[in-house]
Protein backbone atom coordinates (compact mmCIF):
# COMPACT_ATOMS: atom_id res chain seq x y z
CA UNK A 1 0.00 0.00 0.00
CA UNK A 2 1.42 3.37 -0.94
CA UNK A 3 -0.90 5.71 0.90
CA UNK A 4 -1.56 4.10 4.25
CA UNK A 5 1.69 5.22 5.91
CA UNK A 6 1.46 8.82 4.71
CA UNK A 7 1.16 11.50 7.34
CA UNK A 8 -1.31 14.37 7.16
CA UNK A 9 0.28 17.52 5.72
CA UNK A 10 -0.05 20.62 7.90
CA UNK A 11 -2.62 23.15 6.69
CA UNK A 12 -1.12 26.06 4.77
CA UNK A 13 -0.66 28.83 7.37
CA UNK A 14 -2.38 31.48 5.25
CA UNK A 15 -4.89 29.53 3.17
CA UNK A 16 -5.75 27.43 6.26
CA UNK A 17 -6.70 30.66 8.00
CA UNK A 18 -9.22 31.39 5.24
CA UNK A 19 -10.82 27.98 5.81
CA UNK A 20 -11.09 28.70 9.54
CA UNK A 21 -12.59 32.12 8.75
CA UNK A 22 -15.22 30.59 6.46
CA UNK A 23 -16.20 28.12 9.17
CA UNK A 24 -16.60 30.89 11.80
CA UNK A 25 -20.31 31.65 12.39
CA UNK A 26 -19.81 35.09 13.97
CA UNK A 27 -21.44 37.80 11.81
CA UNK A 28 -18.88 40.49 12.69
CA UNK A 29 -15.84 38.33 11.86
CA UNK A 30 -13.03 40.06 9.96
CA UNK A 31 -10.52 38.39 7.61
CA UNK A 32 -7.20 40.22 7.49
CA UNK A 33 -5.23 37.11 6.59
CA UNK A 34 -4.84 36.35 2.91
CA UNK A 35 -3.67 39.15 0.59
CA UNK A 36 -6.77 39.78 -1.45
CA UNK A 37 -7.99 43.26 -2.26
CA UNK A 38 -11.44 44.11 -0.93
CA UNK A 39 -13.42 47.23 -1.73
CA UNK A 40 -15.35 49.36 0.78
CA UNK A 41 -18.20 46.84 0.63
CA UNK A 42 -15.81 44.03 1.57
CA UNK A 43 -15.94 42.48 -1.91
CA UNK A 44 -13.20 41.48 -4.33
CA UNK A 45 -14.70 42.87 -7.55
CA UNK A 46 -13.91 42.10 -11.19
CA UNK A 47 -12.31 45.30 -12.51
CA UNK A 48 -14.30 47.24 -15.15
CA UNK A 49 -11.30 47.12 -17.49
CA UNK A 50 -11.30 43.32 -17.14
CA UNK A 51 -15.07 43.05 -17.80
CA UNK A 52 -14.67 45.17 -20.92
CA UNK A 53 -11.73 43.13 -22.18
CA UNK A 54 -13.70 39.92 -21.56
CA UNK A 55 -16.65 41.29 -23.55
CA UNK A 56 -14.31 42.03 -26.46
CA UNK A 57 -12.79 38.56 -26.23
CA UNK A 58 -16.18 36.89 -26.24
CA UNK A 59 -16.92 38.55 -29.57
CA UNK A 60 -13.58 38.11 -31.25
CA UNK A 61 -12.21 34.79 -30.02
CA UNK A 62 -12.43 32.10 -32.69
CA UNK A 63 -10.47 29.19 -31.24
CA UNK A 64 -9.39 27.52 -28.03
CA UNK A 65 -6.48 25.76 -29.67
CA UNK A 66 -3.21 25.41 -27.70
CA UNK A 67 -1.01 28.42 -27.13
CA UNK A 68 2.72 28.21 -27.76
CA UNK A 69 4.88 27.18 -24.80
CA UNK A 70 5.62 30.84 -24.04
CA UNK A 71 1.95 31.82 -24.13
CA UNK A 72 -0.11 34.48 -25.90
CA UNK A 73 2.02 36.01 -28.65
CA UNK A 74 1.47 39.73 -27.88
CA UNK A 75 1.67 39.23 -24.13
CA UNK A 76 5.46 39.12 -23.75
CA UNK A 77 6.14 42.52 -25.32
CA UNK A 78 3.33 44.15 -23.34
CA UNK A 79 4.65 42.73 -20.07
CA UNK A 80 8.13 43.99 -20.91
CA UNK A 81 6.71 47.47 -21.60
CA UNK A 82 5.01 47.45 -18.23
CA UNK A 83 8.07 46.22 -16.35
CA UNK A 84 10.79 48.24 -18.05
CA UNK A 85 9.04 51.18 -19.75
CA UNK A 86 8.08 51.20 -23.42
CA UNK A 87 10.87 53.32 -24.81
CA UNK A 88 13.62 52.53 -22.31
CA UNK A 89 17.09 51.45 -23.44
CA UNK A 90 16.66 48.08 -21.76
CA UNK A 91 13.34 47.50 -23.52
CA UNK A 92 14.94 48.33 -26.87
CA UNK A 93 18.07 46.27 -26.21
CA UNK A 94 16.86 42.84 -27.47
CA UNK A 95 18.02 41.40 -24.16
CA UNK A 96 14.56 40.73 -22.67
CA UNK A 97 12.72 37.41 -23.00
CA UNK A 98 9.32 36.71 -21.43
CA UNK A 99 7.20 33.62 -21.05
CA UNK A 100 3.66 33.75 -19.73
CA UNK A 101 3.25 31.55 -16.63
CA UNK A 102 0.53 30.58 -14.13
CA UNK A 103 0.58 33.42 -11.61
CA UNK A 104 3.48 34.62 -9.52
CA UNK A 105 3.80 31.20 -7.91
CA UNK A 106 4.03 29.35 -11.22
CA UNK A 107 6.51 31.91 -12.50
CA UNK A 108 8.72 31.51 -9.44
CA UNK A 109 8.59 27.72 -9.66
CA UNK A 110 9.52 27.66 -13.36
CA UNK A 111 12.30 30.16 -12.65
CA UNK A 112 13.57 27.96 -9.81
CA UNK A 113 13.50 24.77 -11.91
CA UNK A 114 15.40 26.58 -14.66
CA UNK A 115 17.96 27.95 -12.21
CA UNK A 116 18.64 24.53 -10.66
CA UNK A 117 18.51 22.31 -13.72
CA UNK A 118 19.89 24.55 -16.42
CA UNK A 119 21.90 27.36 -14.84
CA UNK A 120 23.48 25.16 -12.13
CA UNK A 121 22.44 27.50 -9.34
CA UNK A 122 22.41 25.89 -5.92
CA UNK A 123 21.63 28.72 -3.48
CA UNK A 124 18.99 31.41 -3.33
CA UNK A 125 18.91 34.16 -0.71
CA UNK A 126 15.58 35.43 0.58
CA UNK A 127 14.77 38.22 3.01
CA UNK A 128 13.97 37.49 6.65
CA UNK A 129 11.00 37.56 6.79
CA UNK A 130 9.57 36.81 3.37
CA UNK A 131 6.37 35.50 1.77
CA UNK A 132 5.76 32.12 3.41
CA UNK A 133 5.61 30.21 0.12
CA UNK A 134 9.07 31.26 -1.11
CA UNK A 135 10.83 28.71 1.01
CA UNK A 136 8.51 25.91 -0.13
CA UNK A 137 8.76 26.81 -3.83
CA UNK A 138 12.54 27.04 -3.89
CA UNK A 139 13.14 24.01 -1.69
CA UNK A 140 10.79 21.92 -3.83
CA UNK A 141 12.86 22.83 -6.89
CA UNK A 142 16.05 21.72 -5.13
CA UNK A 143 17.57 25.07 -4.17
CA UNK A 144 19.22 25.69 -0.83
CA UNK A 145 17.48 28.69 0.74
CA UNK A 146 19.54 31.12 2.83
CA UNK A 147 18.21 34.30 4.38
CA UNK A 148 19.44 37.85 4.70
CA UNK A 149 18.45 40.36 7.37
CA UNK A 150 15.71 42.75 6.26
CA UNK A 151 13.38 43.88 9.03
CA UNK A 152 14.45 46.15 11.86
CA UNK A 153 12.01 45.24 14.61
CA UNK A 154 12.93 48.12 16.89
CA UNK A 155 12.35 50.86 14.34
CA UNK A 156 9.75 49.07 12.22
CA UNK A 157 11.99 49.81 9.26
CA UNK A 158 14.59 48.31 6.96
CA UNK A 159 17.79 46.86 8.40
CA UNK A 160 19.76 47.85 5.32
CA UNK A 161 23.17 47.54 6.97
CA UNK A 162 22.30 44.02 8.09
CA UNK A 163 21.02 43.21 4.62
CA UNK A 164 24.24 44.35 2.95
CA UNK A 165 26.39 42.60 5.54
CA UNK A 166 24.59 39.28 4.97
CA UNK A 167 24.58 39.64 1.22
CA UNK A 168 28.29 40.38 1.18
CA UNK A 169 28.60 36.61 1.80
CA UNK A 170 26.82 35.60 -1.40
CA UNK A 171 28.96 33.62 -3.80
CA UNK A 172 29.28 33.80 -7.56
CA UNK A 173 26.18 32.28 -9.25
CA UNK A 174 24.00 32.58 -6.14
CA UNK A 175 20.60 34.16 -6.71
CA UNK A 176 19.22 36.97 -4.54
CA UNK A 177 15.43 37.14 -4.36
CA UNK A 178 14.07 40.66 -3.87
CA UNK A 179 10.51 41.97 -3.74
CA UNK A 180 10.06 44.57 -6.50
CA UNK A 181 7.78 46.67 -4.29
CA UNK A 182 5.30 46.26 -1.41
CA UNK A 183 7.49 43.76 0.42
CA UNK A 184 5.42 40.89 1.75
CA UNK A 185 5.01 40.73 4.76
CA UNK A 186 6.64 43.92 6.04
CA UNK A 187 5.42 46.59 3.58
CA UNK A 188 8.92 48.10 3.71
CA UNK A 189 10.74 48.76 0.44
CA UNK A 190 14.22 49.91 -0.58
CA UNK A 191 14.71 53.49 -1.76
CA UNK A 192 16.55 54.17 -5.02
CA UNK A 193 19.89 54.73 -3.37
CA UNK A 194 19.55 51.39 -1.60
CA UNK A 195 18.52 49.63 -4.83
CA UNK A 196 21.67 51.02 -6.40
CA UNK A 197 23.88 49.74 -3.61
CA UNK A 198 22.23 46.34 -3.78
CA UNK A 199 22.72 46.19 -7.55
CA UNK A 200 26.39 47.12 -7.18
CA UNK A 201 26.84 44.42 -4.57
CA UNK A 202 25.20 41.76 -6.76
CA UNK A 203 27.35 42.82 -9.69
CA UNK A 204 30.50 42.71 -7.63
CA UNK A 205 29.68 39.29 -6.13
CA UNK A 206 28.48 37.96 -9.51
CA UNK A 207 25.12 37.08 -7.98
CA UNK A 208 21.90 37.41 -9.96
CA UNK A 209 18.85 39.27 -8.66
CA UNK A 210 15.46 37.57 -9.05
CA UNK A 211 12.63 40.07 -8.69
CA UNK A 212 9.36 38.81 -7.27
CA UNK A 213 7.03 41.51 -8.59
CA UNK A 214 3.51 40.77 -7.38
CA UNK A 215 2.20 44.23 -6.50
CA UNK A 216 3.15 46.66 -9.29
CA UNK A 217 0.94 49.71 -8.81
CA UNK A 218 0.10 49.15 -5.13
CA UNK A 219 2.86 51.30 -3.61
CA UNK A 220 3.09 54.60 -5.51
CA UNK A 221 1.96 53.93 -9.08
CA UNK A 222 2.38 51.47 -11.95
CA UNK A 223 5.41 53.30 -13.39
CA UNK A 224 6.79 54.51 -10.05
CA UNK A 225 6.83 51.00 -8.57
CA UNK A 226 9.09 49.71 -11.33
CA UNK A 227 11.81 52.28 -10.58
CA UNK A 228 13.88 49.91 -8.42
CA UNK A 229 13.74 47.12 -11.00
CA UNK A 230 14.65 49.51 -13.82
CA UNK A 231 17.58 50.93 -11.88
CA UNK A 232 18.95 47.49 -10.98
CA UNK A 233 18.51 46.38 -14.62
CA UNK A 234 20.70 49.28 -15.72
CA UNK A 235 23.53 48.08 -13.45
CA UNK A 236 23.64 44.27 -13.41
CA UNK A 237 24.32 42.23 -16.55
CA UNK A 238 21.59 39.64 -15.96
CA UNK A 239 18.45 39.35 -13.89
CA UNK A 240 15.10 37.61 -13.77
CA UNK A 241 11.60 38.79 -12.93
CA UNK A 242 8.67 36.65 -11.80
CA UNK A 243 5.65 38.90 -12.05
CA UNK A 244 2.03 38.35 -11.09
CA UNK A 245 -1.16 40.02 -12.30
CA UNK A 246 -3.26 38.42 -9.56
CA UNK A 247 -3.47 41.57 -7.48
CA UNK A 248 -3.12 44.54 -9.83
CA UNK A 249 -5.62 43.14 -12.37
CA UNK A 250 -7.68 41.32 -9.72
CA UNK A 251 -7.14 38.13 -11.77
CA UNK A 252 -6.44 35.90 -8.77
CA UNK A 253 -8.13 32.77 -10.08
CA UNK A 254 -7.01 33.14 -13.69
CA UNK A 255 -3.42 32.33 -12.65
CA UNK A 256 -1.59 34.82 -14.79
CA UNK A 257 1.98 36.07 -14.49
CA UNK A 258 5.26 35.79 -16.32
CA UNK A 259 8.95 34.98 -16.23
CA UNK A 260 11.26 37.53 -17.79
CA UNK A 261 15.00 37.15 -18.36
CA UNK A 262 17.33 40.07 -18.88
CA UNK A 263 20.43 38.60 -20.46
CA UNK A 264 23.87 40.02 -21.07
CA UNK A 265 23.53 39.55 -24.83
CA UNK A 266 20.75 38.66 -27.28
CA UNK A 267 22.52 35.43 -28.11
CA UNK A 268 22.86 34.17 -24.53
CA UNK A 269 19.28 35.25 -23.84
CA UNK A 270 17.92 33.27 -26.77
CA UNK A 271 19.71 30.15 -25.61
CA UNK A 272 18.62 30.59 -22.00
CA UNK A 273 15.03 31.27 -23.06
CA UNK A 274 14.94 28.09 -25.15
CA UNK A 275 15.74 26.25 -21.90
CA UNK A 276 13.01 28.11 -20.01
CA UNK A 277 10.59 26.86 -22.66
CA UNK A 278 11.96 23.32 -22.33
CA UNK A 279 11.42 23.59 -18.56
CA UNK A 280 7.81 24.71 -19.05
CA UNK A 281 7.13 21.94 -21.58
CA UNK A 282 7.99 19.32 -18.97
CA UNK A 283 5.79 20.87 -16.27
CA UNK A 284 2.50 22.01 -17.87
CA UNK A 285 3.35 22.04 -21.58
CA UNK A 286 1.74 25.40 -22.31
CA UNK A 287 -0.21 27.93 -20.25
CA UNK A 288 -3.95 28.68 -20.08
CA UNK A 289 -5.10 31.55 -22.30
CA UNK A 290 -7.86 33.53 -20.63
CA UNK A 291 -5.93 35.64 -18.12
CA UNK A 292 -3.19 36.49 -20.61
CA UNK A 293 -5.72 37.49 -23.26
CA UNK A 294 -7.42 39.80 -20.76
CA UNK A 295 -4.14 41.44 -19.75
CA UNK A 296 -2.93 41.74 -23.35
CA UNK A 297 -6.27 43.20 -24.50
CA UNK A 298 -6.14 45.85 -21.77
CA UNK A 299 -2.47 46.77 -22.16
CA UNK A 300 -2.68 47.01 -25.97
CA UNK A 301 -5.74 49.29 -25.92
CA UNK A 302 -4.93 52.86 -24.75
CA UNK A 303 -8.46 53.49 -23.41
CA UNK A 304 -8.64 50.22 -21.49
CA UNK A 305 -5.10 50.71 -20.20
CA UNK A 306 -6.01 54.16 -18.89
CA UNK A 307 -9.10 52.73 -17.19
CA UNK A 308 -6.99 49.98 -15.62
CA UNK A 309 -4.38 52.48 -14.35
CA UNK A 310 -7.23 54.45 -12.79
CA UNK A 311 -8.63 51.30 -11.16
CA UNK A 312 -5.23 50.36 -9.73
CA UNK A 313 -5.01 53.90 -8.36
CA UNK A 314 -8.38 53.52 -6.67
CA UNK A 315 -7.32 50.26 -5.02
CA UNK A 316 -4.01 51.78 -3.91
CA UNK A 317 -5.64 54.91 -2.52
CA UNK A 318 -8.32 52.99 -0.66
CA UNK A 319 -5.64 50.96 1.12
CA UNK A 320 -3.73 54.16 1.95
CA UNK A 321 -6.89 55.66 3.43
CA UNK A 322 -7.46 52.55 5.54
CA UNK A 323 -3.90 52.82 6.89
CA UNK A 324 -4.50 56.42 7.92
CA UNK A 325 -7.91 55.68 9.41
CA UNK A 326 -6.59 52.63 11.30
CA UNK A 327 -3.74 54.61 12.87
CA UNK A 328 -5.99 57.50 13.85
CA UNK A 329 -8.72 55.22 15.26
CA UNK A 330 -6.12 53.37 17.35
CA UNK A 331 -5.01 56.71 18.78
CA UNK A 332 -8.64 57.83 19.32
CA UNK A 333 -9.25 54.62 21.26
CA UNK A 334 -6.62 55.78 23.74
CA UNK A 335 -3.96 53.30 22.63
CA UNK A 336 -0.64 54.93 23.40
CA UNK A 337 1.59 52.39 21.66
CA UNK A 338 3.02 53.98 18.51
CA UNK A 339 1.48 52.52 15.34
CA UNK A 340 2.33 55.45 13.06
CA UNK A 341 4.77 53.25 11.10
CA UNK A 342 1.73 51.54 9.54
CA UNK A 343 1.18 54.65 7.43
CA UNK A 344 4.71 54.45 6.05
CA UNK A 345 4.39 50.88 4.78
CA UNK A 346 3.59 50.06 1.15
CA UNK A 347 1.04 47.74 -0.37
CA UNK A 348 -1.53 45.40 1.08
CA UNK A 349 0.32 44.34 4.18
CA UNK A 350 1.26 45.76 7.49
CA UNK A 351 3.63 44.14 9.91
CA UNK A 352 1.73 45.13 13.02
CA UNK A 353 4.09 43.93 15.73
CA UNK A 354 1.23 41.92 17.34
CA UNK A 355 2.47 38.75 19.05
CA UNK A 356 1.38 35.18 18.29
CA UNK A 357 -0.65 35.18 21.55
CA UNK A 358 -2.38 38.45 20.66
CA UNK A 359 -3.14 37.18 17.15
CA UNK A 360 -4.59 34.01 18.66
CA UNK A 361 -6.79 35.93 21.10
CA UNK A 362 -8.07 38.15 18.30
CA UNK A 363 -9.18 35.04 16.46
CA UNK A 364 -10.70 33.19 19.42
CA UNK A 365 -12.38 36.09 21.20
CA UNK A 366 -13.20 38.53 18.40
CA UNK A 367 -13.31 36.58 15.11
CA UNK A 368 -10.47 38.74 13.75
CA UNK A 369 -8.19 36.63 11.53
CA UNK A 370 -4.54 37.71 11.17
CA UNK A 371 -1.49 35.65 10.15
CA UNK A 372 0.55 34.40 13.13
CA UNK A 373 3.50 36.64 12.26
CA UNK A 374 1.28 39.66 13.00
CA UNK A 375 0.97 40.49 9.30
CA UNK A 376 -2.28 42.32 8.67
CA UNK A 377 -3.83 42.53 5.21
CA UNK A 378 -4.86 46.20 5.27
CA UNK A 379 -6.82 45.55 2.07
CA UNK A 380 -9.39 43.70 4.19
CA UNK A 381 -10.15 46.76 6.33
CA UNK A 382 -13.26 48.84 5.61
CA UNK A 383 -14.91 51.81 7.29
CA UNK A 384 -17.57 49.47 8.64
CA UNK A 385 -15.28 46.85 10.20
CA UNK A 386 -12.73 49.37 11.56
CA UNK A 387 -14.37 49.99 14.96
CA UNK A 388 -14.68 46.28 15.73
CA UNK A 389 -11.08 45.77 14.66
CA UNK A 390 -9.73 48.58 16.83
CA UNK A 391 -11.80 47.43 19.81
CA UNK A 392 -10.41 43.89 19.43
CA UNK A 393 -6.83 45.11 19.20
CA UNK A 394 -7.28 47.40 22.20
CA UNK A 395 -8.54 44.44 24.23
CA UNK A 396 -5.54 42.23 23.48
CA UNK A 397 -2.75 44.82 23.78
N1 LIG B 1 4.96 36.70 -4.45
C2 LIG B 1 4.49 37.41 -3.43
C3 LIG B 1 5.41 38.28 -2.67
C4 LIG B 1 3.14 37.32 -3.09
O5 LIG B 1 2.67 38.02 -2.05
C6 LIG B 1 2.29 36.48 -3.83
C7 LIG B 1 0.83 36.34 -3.52
N8 LIG B 1 0.47 36.30 -2.23
C9 LIG B 1 2.84 35.76 -4.89
C10 LIG B 1 4.16 35.90 -5.18
C11 LIG B 1 2.03 34.79 -5.69
O12 LIG B 1 1.10 35.33 -6.50
P13 LIG B 1 0.09 34.43 -7.33
O14 LIG B 1 -1.17 34.38 -6.54
O15 LIG B 1 -0.03 35.19 -8.61
O16 LIG B 1 0.69 33.09 -7.51
Distance 91 CA to ligand 1 centre (A): 25
Pocket test of ligand 1: the residue of 36, 124, 184 to mutate, having most ligand atoms within 8 Å of its CB, is 184
- pLDDT greater than 90 at residue 271: yes
pLDDT of residue 285: 98
Q: Is 247 labeled as catalytic in the residue annotation?
A: yes
pLDDT of residue 12: 83
Distance 244 CA to ligand 1 centre (A): 7
Task: State how far the Cα of 278 lies from the Cα of 18, in Å rounded to an integer.
Answer: 36
Query: Which residue from 175, 255, 173, 275 is spatially nearest to 214, judged by alpha carbons?
Result: 255
What pLDDT digit, counting tens, does each position of 145-204 carry?
A: 999 999 999 999 999 999 999 999 999 999 999 999 999 999 999 999 999 999 999 999
Whole-angstrom CA distances from 100 to 19, 61, 282, 304, 316 are 30, 19, 15, 21, 25
pLDDT of residue 128: 97
pLDDT of residue 13: 79
- pLDDT greater than 90 at residue 320: yes
Query: Which residue from 64, 76, 66 is spatially nearest to 100, judged by alpha carbons?
Result: 76
- pLDDT greater than 90 at residue 264: yes
Angle value at C-alpha 281, between 279 and 286, nearest 5 degrees: 125
Residue 16 — pLDDT band, cuts 50, 70, 90?
confident
Residue 8 — pLDDT band, cuts 50, 70, 90?
very high
- pLDDT greater than 90 at residue 353: no
pLDDT of residue 223: 98
Residue 208 — pLDDT band, cuts 50, 70, 90?
very high
The residue length of the chain stands at 397
- pLDDT greater than 90 at residue 129: yes
Helix (H, G, I), strand (E, B) or coil at 176: strand
User: If residue 228 lies in a helix (H) or strand (E), which one and from where to where?
Assistant: helix 227-233
Residue 345 — pLDDT band, cuts 50, 70, 90?
very high
What pLDDT digit, counting tens, does each position of 22-39 carry?
A: 999 999 999 999 889 999
CB 60 within 8 A of CB 66: no
What pLDDT digit, counting tens, does each position of 88-107 carry?
A: 999 999 999 999 999 999 99
Query: Which residue from 188, 136, 123, 133 is spatially nearest to 162, judged by alpha carbons?
Result: 188
CB 109 within 8 A of CB 280: no
Distance 198 CA to ligand 1 centre (A): 23
pLDDT of residue 119: 98
Residue 75 — pLDDT band, cuts 50, 70, 90?
very high
- Active-site annotation holder among 159, 166, 212, 225: 212
pLDDT of residue 372: 87
**Residue scoring higher pLDDT (173 or 132):** 173
- pLDDT greater than 90 at residue 59: yes
pLDDT of residue 177: 98
Pocket test of ligand 1: the residue of 105, 185, 250 to mutate, having most ligand atoms within 8 Å of its CB, is 105
- pLDDT greater than 90 at residue 319: yes
Q: What is the average pLDDT across 252-256? A: 98
Q: Is 212 labeled as catalytic in the residue annotation?
A: yes
Distance 178 CA to ligand 1 centre (A): 13
Task: Kindly list the protein residues whose Cβ atom lies closer than 6 A to any atom of ligand 1.
Answer: 35, 103-105, 131, 179, 184, 212, 214, 244, 246, 257
pLDDT of residue 34: 85
CB 294 within 8 A of CB 50: yes
Q: What is the average pLDDT across 121-146? A: 97
Residue 318 — pLDDT band, cuts 50, 70, 90?
very high
The residue whose C-alpha atom lies closest to atom 12 belonging to ligand 1 is 104
Reported in sequence order, the residue ranges of the chain that DSSP labels E, i.e. its strands, are 30-31, 96-101, 123-128, 144-149, 151-152, 157-158, 175-179, 208-213, 239-244, 257-262, 349-351, 368-369, 375-377
Distance 104 CA to ligand 1 centre (A): 5
Pocket test of ligand 1: the residue of 136, 241, 246 to mutate, having most ligand atoms within 8 Å of its CB, is 246
Q: Is 131 labeled as catalytic in the residue annotation?
A: yes
Choose the weakest-confidence range: 167-171, 226-230, 301-305, 343-347. Answer: 343-347
Torsion of the alpha carbons at 379, 351, 260 and 240, rounded to the nearest 10:
180
Q: Give the global pTM.
A: 0.97
pLDDT of residue 10: 87
- pLDDT greater than 90 at residue 276: yes
Amino acid sequence: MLFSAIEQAPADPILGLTDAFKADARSNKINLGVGIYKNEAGQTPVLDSVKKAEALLLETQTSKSYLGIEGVAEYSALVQDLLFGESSDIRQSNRLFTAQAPGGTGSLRVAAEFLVNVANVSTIWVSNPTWANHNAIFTAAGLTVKSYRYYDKQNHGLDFDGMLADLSQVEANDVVLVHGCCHNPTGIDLNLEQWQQLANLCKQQQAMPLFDFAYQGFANGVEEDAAGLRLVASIVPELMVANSFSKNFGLYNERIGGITLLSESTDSGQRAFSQVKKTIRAIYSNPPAHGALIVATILANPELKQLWIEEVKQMRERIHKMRTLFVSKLADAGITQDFSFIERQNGMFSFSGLSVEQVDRLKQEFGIYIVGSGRISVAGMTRSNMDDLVAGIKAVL
